[in-house]
Structure 1
Amino acid sequence: MKKKQIEDMKTVLTSQKQINLSRKKLKQIPLSDQCKEIILGSLLGDGSLQIPKNDKNARFFIRHSQVEEEYFEWKASALEEISSDASIKYSEKSGYSENQKLLFQSGALGELTEIHSITHNGGHGLIIRRRWLNHLTPLSLAIWWLDDGSIISRGRKGVLCTDGFDEDSVKLLANYLEVVWNVYTHVGPIKRDRKDGNCSKKLYYRLWFGTEELKKFLRIILPYVPVKSMLRKAMLLYKDAELQQRWISEMKLLNPNFSEEIDLILQSKQKLRE
């Protein structure tokens, strides 16, 4: 890889605005930084913080499909400090999926209640606010993408499925990515059928990435992709062999632990396109 490419990548990886968070309430909560980073990223994706009816404190929940078992197991292991003896559960297939669901439920902890009070607004659920978005790290962004991000348009554009948030919240997320991480996304609507009794189409808003902005975003998160099976979510596809090899080289540089797996994922993706 050319020296200029490496320097450009380093610039992207250090592009987050420096914000002093040391005195913020969220920073003072006595959980490890990694634990909080995973929780915050998951709140934008497949995780939730809830205070069950019979509990005084909040619990953290994650649900993944069985096809993401390696990723789920990594999360569960990384969240050991908030887990209990019965944290991992399995459920039968539900909704549109034919796969079994893997469930994580933390213990009911005061520390999680504190995070809940910062990220939620009473009975109104999760509230998208800069006061806690500012605590997201590259690992948090990686979790968000691995949970709800997809590469589309024949392998060179991307989308974050933010269907659980209203238009204003999605616009705030877009602004956050642009201001803090220098990644521009387009907020666009999509109509989807949901199993809500009558299968009526509803309007949702998502974050859409052009090719260059997606590459910038993936360069930020690639060093933090924790398991080989999820590298598929960072595999851009090109018809031009030279452009393809450039991206493969970048992936290997940013996540050298999985060099061999990156080659195998590319081969698998290319076979699917044939």
Structure 2
Amino acid sequence: HDVEQVLIGSMLGDGCIGCYPKYRDAWFTESKKIEHIDYLGWKAKILSEFGGSIREREGESGLPHLGSRQFKAAVFRTFVHPLFTQLRHIWYPNGKKVVPEGELQKLDELGLAVWYMDDGSYGVLTRSCLISTGSFTLDEQILTKDAFKEKWGLIPKIIPAGKGYGLDFLVSDTDKLLRVMAPFIHPDMVYKLGHIHPDNLGRINQMRRAYLERRRQREKERYHSDSTYREHILEHNRKCREEVRS
């Protein structure tokens, strides 16, 4: 069961199944930031029957106009196995990764947690969750949204995110979503549990205070540099004082 759910969650997330023409069978692979190598090791342990190893590598990323930056990553890759060949036919029917409805129907809380740990994020200011689904088609977004409603009574909103889409959860749904996944979240990813985990509260409060201070500074700078904005604020304050007096 754990193997199946880790594979489903990973394939919805950052996992890939590769195959060279000269090989009869395929393999599973996934890479993570070096900071999350323990999380990747947890996956490797669950998939240990397929062998493989984790290696560190260095690379370069960035946009041309912003300049590149060096990064370190951890890459896990299994040995080839007939199971991955079968799964490749399911997840890559035409050579491009899809979201198979049958696999989505098998998804349970463990698989959901793996998917969220791969592609989910918690908004400190909004207290809500977002799962990045940028590689999904719009039809697959709708299919996934329906699965959340059917399985857990959650109704995420499909929103633009980056170059694709994302599944955005209301604050009320976020609380339920996080509690459903919490028992399966790896220690490396506890920060993604947001307000429901006590270890995160100090960091959340600190980030909120920092954000409010930055916003206050921006408004102060705009007040002194933008005469139109300053007149608008002064007029608004004047009207408020008059309303209070009356």
Under a length normalisation based on structure 1, what TM-score does the superposition of the two structures give?
0.69
- Cα 1:264–1:221 change in 2 (3 A) is closer
Q: Following TM superposition, by how much is the alpha carbon of 1:140 offset from its aligned partner in structure 2, in angstroms?
A: 0.5
Which position in structure 1 is the counterpart of 2:56? 90
Are 1:270 and 2:205 counterparts?
Answer: yes
Q: Which segments of 5 or more consecutive residues in structure 1 lack a partner in the other structure?
A: 1-32, 193-202, 237-246, 248-261
Give the number of the structure with larger relative contact order, counting CA–CA contacts within 8 Å between residues 6 or more apart. 1
Task: Assess if the C-alpha contact under 8 Å between 1:185 and 1:208 holds in 2.
Answer: yes
For residues 134-161 of structure 1, what are the alpha-carbon distances to aligned partners after superposition, in whole Å with 9 as ceiling and x for unaligned?
1112110001001100112605111111
Equivalent position of 1:60 in the other structure:
28
Conserved 8 A contact 1:130-1:176? no
Separation (CA, whole Å) in 2 of partners of 1:45 and 1:66: 17
| TM-aligned CA deviation for residue 120 of structure 1 | 2.5
The residue aligned with 2:91 is 119
Instruction: Output the CA distance in 1 between the equivalents of 2:158 and 2:199.
Output: 33
The alignment partner of 1:134 has SS state of: helix
Point out the structure with max Rg over C-alpha. 2
Residue type of the alignment partner of 1:207: L
Residue aligning to 1:218: 178
Residue 45 of structure 1 is aligned with which of 6, 9, 13? 13
Q: 1 or 2, which has the higher helix percentage?
A: 2
Counterparts of 1:4-23 in structure 2, within 5 Å, are none
Letter in 1 for 2:93: N
Tell me how far apart the structure 2 counterparts of residues 160 and 148 of structure 1 sit (CA, whole Å): 6
Show structure 1 runs of 4+ deviating over 4 A.
none
The 3-state SS of whatever aligns with 1:92 is strand
2:74 is matched by which residue type in structure 1? L
Counterpart contact for 1:155–1:235, Cα < 8 Å: no
Distance across 2 between alignment mates of 1:214 and 1:54:
46
> 151, 154, 160: which is aligned to 1:189?
160
TM-score by length of 2: 0.77
What does residue range 109-188 of structure 1 map to in structure 2 within 5 Å? 109-123=81-95, 125-152=96-123, 154-188=125-159
Note if contact 2:41-2:54 (Cα within 8 Å) is conserved in structure 1. no
User: Does residue 105 of the first structure (1) align with residue 77 of the second (2)?
Assistant: yes
